[in-house]
């Protein structure tokens, strides 16, 4: 039996929904049913259960994206699968286009070593706390960063404590004694060994990360690789990624050369030399570097979060590695897989053109303000008028809220969000915070579409 989809909508959106479906020309047949409510977003599953008397032979029902309530209960009541569509009607084509392409982001091939720098100056308790934070953001290995010519009296106890807490640990030092002490304390990895101190790997079980004896000396690196292979020991190779203008391009070439010479060895890329030492947003840098890792089959990165501008580097690298893995597995470009790396911009920031917003505004018969944005600017409207601007302050004289502090504050917040979104090219949805992808930690509760949104502080009566 062919699929027949029932779309439920409100009065204001019905015409546009029909127009979009006609343009999509879906493979399934469909019915558009207007449920007798003006604004589709005000529809609830309880309302649908009361008002929907005919399912029109549907095999699937699609509700407006902002419809609240328990769709599983509604589905059981109607004996038909029920799902929410996208929040914006204009995203309906993408919604159906992606229905058969849901990417699994639970998989990845790159292991993240997250370095806790200046560890000798940090207490064990603080190190453990930071280790848990890094782990929550995606770290697989907690790297303990030592300092040159600096005593680290609690090194062994730090590693033992982390191991007791269940962490995988690496010791990171240029001092042989630190490496030896860390390995004997139970570290799983050692950063970094070279041709002259490979003897340390005979003393401990930790897996060594190999680097050239001297910078750019691939011959010494090849000899170290050969020695470890002869011993049948596991190892990871790091040809060293250099900062921009200090050998960056040549170091990428070096990684490529090592991979060509050794197709099957395990490799590491130290992304911190780019993310930490370049004053630019780290999301794009991590994405590109993880793309290089994907192409060269580099399955380990060393990441740091020292500079303030790199404060989300581990979280960004975690999502980037998952997206790159999914794209590689599906033999596709890393596009339209997940929006988390789109921190400042979006593929489709303005779902509605100015004329479409004006057409909607013409149907409004109540005093509540709606705010939307288009390429031309910010638009606010109700039954009393339609006003546009690129600076929210220009809109204030038209709003008539000088005697309503709560309403004025609410509109100010929403218009400020709209202005930021318009300037950057981001999606703005009234009553929702702007999305910054994985570049921020969420500061508010996740929107629960099973529950009704509580009244905000501007609606509550103030004492």
Q: Do residues 243 and 274 make contact, with C-beta atoms less than 8 angstroms apart?
A: yes
Per-residue pLDDT band at 413 (split at 50, 70, 90): very high
Q: How far apart are CA 232 and CA 417, in angstroms?
A: 59
pLDDT in tens, 232-255: 999 999 999 999 999 999 999 999
Reported as type and span, the H/E element at residue 145 is strand 141-145
Once rounded to an integer, what is the mean pLDDT over residues 421-435? 93
Per-residue pLDDT band at 456 (split at 50, 70, 90): low
What number does CATH give the domain 111-330?
A: 3.20.20.20
Per-residue pLDDT band at 453 (split at 50, 70, 90): low
Residues ≥6 apart with Cβ < 8 Å to 204? 180, 183, 184, 187, 190
Please identify, in words, the CATH class of the domain defined by 4-96. alpha beta
Asked if residue 450 has pLDDT above 70, the reply is: no
How many percent of the chain have pLDDT more than 70? 94
Q: What is the DSSP letter of 68?
A: B
Q: How far apart are CA 156 and CA 338, in angstroms?
A: 41
- What was the pLDDT predicted at 204? 96
Strands 370-374 and 377-382: antiparallel
- What was the pLDDT predicted at 100? 44
Q: Do residues 303 and 310 make contact, with C-beta atoms less than 8 angstroms apart?
A: no
Q: Do residues 72 and 45 make contact, with C-beta atoms less than 8 angstroms apart?
A: no
Q: How far apart are CA 328 and CA 337, in angstroms?
A: 11
Per-residue pLDDT band at 93 (split at 50, 70, 90): confident
- What was the pLDDT predicted at 91? 83
Asked if residue 444 has pLDDT above 70, the reply is: no
Which comes out higher in pLDDT, residue 426 or 332? 426
- What was the pLDDT predicted at 457? 63
Least confident of 12-21, 128-137, 298-307, 443-452: 443-452
Asked if residue 7 has pLDDT above 50, the reply is: yes
Task: For residue 302, give the nearest of 455, 109, 172, 460 by alpha carbon.
Answer: 172
Q: How far apart are CA 320 and CA 337, in angstroms?
A: 11
Once rounded to an integer, what is the mean pLDDT over residues 211-219? 95
Question: Which residues on neighbouring strands pair with residue 230, listed in sequence order?
Answer: none
- What was the pLDDT predicted at 224? 97
Asked if residue 46 has pLDDT above 80, the reply is: yes
pTM higher than the cut 0.85: no
- What was the pLDDT predicted at 448? 52
- What was the pLDDT predicted at 459? 60
pLDDT in tens, 131-186: 999 999 999 999 999 999 899 999 999 999 999 999 999 999 999 999 999 999 99
Per-residue pLDDT band at 360 (split at 50, 70, 90): confident
Least confident of 24-38, 171-185, 213-227, 234-248: 24-38
Domain boundaries along the sequence of the chain: 4-96, 111-330, 342-462
pLDDT in tens, 71-89: 999 999 999 999 998 888 8
- Residue 133: C-alpha distances to residues 82, 126, 302, 305, 314 (Å): 38, 11, 16, 11, 10
**What is the Cβ-side half-sphere exposure of residue 249, based on CA atoms within 13 angstroms?**
1
pLDDT in tens, 387-405: 999 999 999 999 999 999 9
Asked if residue 446 has pLDDT above 80, the reply is: no
Task: For residue 22, give the nearest of 92, 106, 77, 104 by alpha carbon.
Answer: 92
Give 430-456 as a DSSP string: TTSPPP-GGGS---SPPP-TTSPPPP-
- What was the pLDDT predicted at 171? 97
What phi, psi does 31 have (nearest 5°)? -130, 135
Length of the chain: 463
Per-residue pLDDT band at 434 (split at 50, 70, 90): very high
Average pLDDT over the chain, rounded to an integer: 91
Residues ≥6 apart with Cβ < 8 Å to 367? 382, 383, 384
Q: Do residues 187 and 173 make contact, with C-beta atoms less than 8 angstroms apart?
A: no
Per-residue pLDDT band at 348 (split at 50, 70, 90): confident
Residues ≥6 apart with Cβ < 8 Å to 249? none
């Amino acid at each position: 039996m062919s699929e027949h989809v029932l779309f439920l909508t409100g009065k204001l959106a019905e015409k546009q929904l029909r127009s979009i479906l006609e343009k999509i020309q879906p493979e399934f047949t469909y019915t558009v049913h207007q449920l007798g409510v003006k604004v589709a977003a005000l529809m609830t599953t309880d309302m649908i259960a009361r008002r929907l008397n005919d399912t029109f032979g549907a095999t699937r029902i699609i509700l407006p994206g902002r419809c609240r309530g328990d769709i599983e209960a509604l589905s059981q009541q109607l004996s038909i699968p029920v799902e929410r569509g996208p929040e914006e009607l204009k995203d309906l084509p993408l919604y159906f286009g992606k229905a058969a392409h849901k990417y699994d982001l639970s998989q990845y091939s790159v292991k993240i070593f997250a370095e806790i720098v200046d560890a000798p100056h940090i207490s064990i308790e603080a190190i453990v706390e930071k280790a848990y934070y890094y782990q929550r953001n995606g770290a697989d290995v907690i790297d303990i960063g030592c300092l040159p010519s600096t005593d680290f009296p609690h090194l062994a106890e730090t590693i033992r404590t982390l191991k007791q807490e269940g962490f995988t640990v690496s010791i990171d030092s240029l001092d042989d004694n630190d490496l030896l002490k860390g390995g004997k304390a139970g570290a799983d990895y050692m950063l970094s060994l070279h041709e002259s101190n490979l003897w340390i790997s005979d003393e401990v079980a930790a897996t060594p990360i190999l680097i050239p004896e001297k910078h750019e000396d691939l011959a010494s690196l090849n000899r170290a690789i050969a020695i470890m292979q002869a011993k049948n020991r596991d190892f990871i190779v790091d040809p060293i990624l250099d900062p921009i203008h200090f050998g960056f391009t040549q170091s990428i070439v070096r990684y490529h050369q090592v991979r060509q010479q050794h197709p099957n060895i395990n490799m590491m890329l130290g992304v911190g030399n780019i993310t930490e030492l370049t004053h630019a947003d780290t999301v794009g840098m991590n994405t590109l570097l993880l793309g290089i890792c994907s192409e060269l089959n580099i399955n380990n990165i060393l990441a740091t979060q020292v500079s303030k501008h790199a404060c989300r580097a581990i979280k960004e690298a975690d999502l980037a590695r998952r997206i790159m893995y999914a794209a590689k597995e599906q033999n596709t470009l890393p596009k339209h897989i997940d929006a988390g790396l789109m921190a400042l911009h979006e593929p489709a920031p303005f779902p509605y053109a100015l004329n479409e917003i004006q057409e909607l505004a013409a149907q409004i018969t109540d005093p509540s303000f709606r705010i939307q944005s288009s390429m031309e600017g910010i638009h606010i409207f109700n039954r009393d008028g339609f006003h546009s601007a690129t600076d929210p302050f220009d809109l204030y004289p038209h709003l008539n809220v000088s005697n309503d502090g709560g309403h004025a504050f609410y509109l100010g917040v929403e218009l400020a969000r709209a202005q930021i979104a318009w300037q950057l090219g981001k999606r703005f949805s009234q009553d929702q915070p702007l999305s910054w992808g994985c570049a921020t930690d969420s500061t508010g509760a996740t929107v629960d579409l099973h529950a009704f949104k509580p009244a905000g502080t501007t609606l509550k009566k103030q004492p």
